[in-house]
Structure 1
Amino acid sequence: MSRTASEIEPKSAETITFGGFVFLTKSKQLRTVEGKAVDLRSQSAEVLSVLAARPGEIVSKDALMQAVWADTFVTDDSLTQCIADIRRALGDDEHVIVQTLPKRGYRLNADPLDTVDPNAAAGTERARSRFSRRGFILVAIVLVAAAIGAYYGAQMWPSATVRSTDMSRIAVLPFEEFSTGADKGYLSDAVAEGIITELARSKTYAVIARNSSFRYRGQPIDVRQIGDELGVDYLLEGSQQKIGDRLKVTAQLLNAHDGSHVWANTYNREIGDLFVVQEEIIRTLADRVGRRIERPLPKSDAAQVSALHYHLMGIVEIRKDFSATGNELLRQLNLKAIEADPDSQFGYIGLAWFYRNDAIFGWHEQEHNRDEALKRAAEYADKAILLAPDDAEAHQIRASIHTEAGEFEQALARYDQAIALNPSNSDILVHSTDPLLYVGRTDEAIERIELAMGIDPFHADWFHWQMGWALWEKNDCGAALTAMRKMSRIPIGAHRMLAGIHACLGNEQEAKEALAVFLQNSPGQSISQERREWEKIWIAPGSLNRWIEHMRIAGLPE
């Protein structure tokens, strides 16, 4: 990374106005044009300061990283998180004020002449007047664009979550496990994950994604540090203990700004009341933060909890080992979930994922071909939706199956529904880029992945896999390889993408080695099979032919 003085030195203006806000360049404070302070994390304020120094100009990622983190090693995710934080504070859901220029950087769309003396009332009035005029023009442009988009059917998906500046931000930490013996680990993260999902669904809060909040598992709780790193106002922490047929859950809500206790409670119930306990915690939390969730208590029993237990075990296995072996464990554990409670959605969701993975990676071709596997996946997903129409993951897996079947309109609708049901689930957000990449809307996919990384700063490794695919689509294979190498461990299933990227770069030996790893689980794959499986859905111009050529370089047999 490098920078020049012209890239990072601030302009002489003491204030910069944009989108109804004023940024004081010396104190690095963000205010409304009326003078009300707007909360912004310190690192986010630093990033905004660099952008405000060059209003209307493109500032490269390297320049931003070097200016803010010159003496600290961080990944691009830190910058992405700060950009998301700035947009949240500005209410810039359409990325109009802070604009992303793919492969080039970011631009703050502010008028450099729009500077005022912070002590001059007349200046503030001028800024307000200018904003009103720009706001009217912007609204007009948006309305015209929306009309054109509706006419041609080019509708954009909604953003993952709408975060107004007065919306509380909450992180739910993993609950400590105090169970012992055979009961230890029985509940996994069911309590905490359930609370995250329900809070996000209410749209009353902005809830940080589980991948980020669960990063602090087993670490000493420094409330203010975690609050600053995640950019949240509240932390919910707790513990769980299963003793035979009884469940004890404690939870406490902490103010992330000063570490003070807001609320605490203990629940001691029969194990079958797990979901009722979750809902009571959520209701009390909502009341303490200043909102109420009006929804009837869910039904819960021991069989349903057992089904969830087996389903979560299967998810852990496939996340730990994304391979044919991990996929088979996913199947076995979700069959146990159905056996435990055939009227719960959990086991059916898991089996739908199993057959979807089977279809894409050809892990059990001797038993099922791609079409048969997708058909079975769809049957299980539809069953899950029938049993639990408000389960975001049920709609997510159905959307993924629609995508792999080339049913892109249905996939769009299902992903919209899944995101609406759980706006904090960054996994759903990244999965929703599959149809975009298949049809060639690559820049939109990259922005969506970056958005997911922003709301989930400690996201899962496979987000980099998806970014690798997106950058391969742009023929930016050097950046694609960098993205893949950000994974802590590249799973077997990802080695096919890795082989394609190496082939794109002319690294023939590395491409062959990567493909050999992939073929350990998928020995029957061939060029003709790849073409047959993808030609109906991978319709981005030229992408499939380019992929086939790269597979030939990697040594895939005809």
Structure 2
Amino acid sequence: MQEKRDDIYEVNGCRLDIRRGVIERDGRHLRIRPKTFAMLSYLARNPDRVVAKDELIEAIWGKLTVTDDALTQTVKDIRRVIDDKAANVVRTVPRRGYLLERTTSFDGAGWYAGRPLRHAFEILVEESKSAVPLADGWEGPKTSALGQARPVRLSGRDRPAIAVLPFVLDNVASQRLHLLKDGLLRDIVRDLARLRTLFVIAANSLQALSNAALGDLQAGAVLRCDYVCAGTIAVDGPTLRLDIELIAVDGGHVLLSETFAKPLALASTFGQSLASEIAMLVADEVDLAERNLAVRRPLCELDAWHAYHRGLWHLHRFTSIDNAVAENFFKVAIDRDPGFARPYAGLSFTHWSKAYLFDPSRLSEEGRLAHDFAARAVAVDPCDPAAHGALGQALWITGAHDEAVEALERATVLSPSYAFGHFLRAVVEALSGDAKMGIEASDLARALSPFDPHTAANQGTRAVALLRLGRNEEAAAWAARAARHPNADTRVRWVAVLALTAAGRTDEASSLVQRINKENSENGSELFIRTSRMRREDEEMLRDLSRRSGLL
């Protein structure tokens, strides 16, 4: 059935298909909220005329009472979706309404001509630039002809910059929540700043900018940001709803869209916990975006930040070869910026991984190197939670349990939402400290970072704590989950065998034993036990389970 011409419009390079309820650019669907789509459709059907605010409210919201803030936010959302950074397509006519410059109505015949193919080709060309080294002898990324790594981000800053824009109160019922709105903004900004990885725009500047009636992308450009986080607060009966989006300023695409629903009656109690949850979601999404950007950049264009993230990408693949490549990237990052603490912490982790996972026979030497690089990270930035986290795990692997706990406590005091710090505390407590505290720390780390690359290790750590408590069936269930995870390494599978054996699930255990014995060197189980820094009675329990399961 042929489409009606009036159902499809071209709006600033986007294909708006009203009948199908979609908007596309270069053949790709764009994410858009229902109210935003409805308003854009209404404006597209009424081009080149000023549409009054009252007319838009009646057309989009009907008899529901809404504020001008809701209308303004929806217009900002339209501009974001169609990449109208300068507000030249959807124009604001002061004191009157909004005008959409004339759009083109068409049947779509010429819209796709060559565009998806060209777009796919451009992606392949960009991918082809990303060389992934596979050998220890790689010398690192070279500088450009000017002798320095080329800047790679829109803001021109050496770290990603983010602005958390003041939340919009979406309806009349939410107008009394100004204190919650302002408190959330300041708490999220504070939690992001504590992570020490982002350039975070101060809350006072953000609130001062809120009266300028700028779109999200315009605000990001004015503040020289790479990412903006925006959202709305609405009240629906007894429920408070918060919708947030994380937007990449360069390209205007949505990286994260999340809705939080909380009991309105408890609004005075959950502000800090909600802000922490939002901050970690945003930080994790920015980290992922930066890592993907780093992997796609030519080696000669990597600055210290992206060399560090390229190292993280390899580090989280949990293989000995990738660990060696990660080490090289961290060294390059330090060479580019000796005052950047995170690459020192990354180097510490590579040596810790050698001692704990890849070559336990070199525990003493690799543990010392892990400690030395972690200490340098702390010296470079005493307020970086990752530096103290690295120091904590290095102290633990070298046998200084109490000092390790102190360092990890410092990491989570500096940043209470630092999920990796809580995970490291779980490792230390689950293996050689308070097993119940290890379980609590494990659960908190997963709650703060549900899709963390260390999820398998986290679940395996929880299983060890349960084994120490004699809760064998629970331990087996958690260990089996961990072993099925894509990031499960040899030690995780080793824990799974022991837990399954303890629970009497020997058939499941035996299916993993042969693989582990091939991966391990001779006497591998004994080396694993020694690097776990466990109490003597717990070591004997693991040795007994290893013998019963058939592990070498």
Structure 1 or 2, whichever has the larger Rg, is 2
TM-score of the superposed pair, with normalisation by structure 2: 0.47
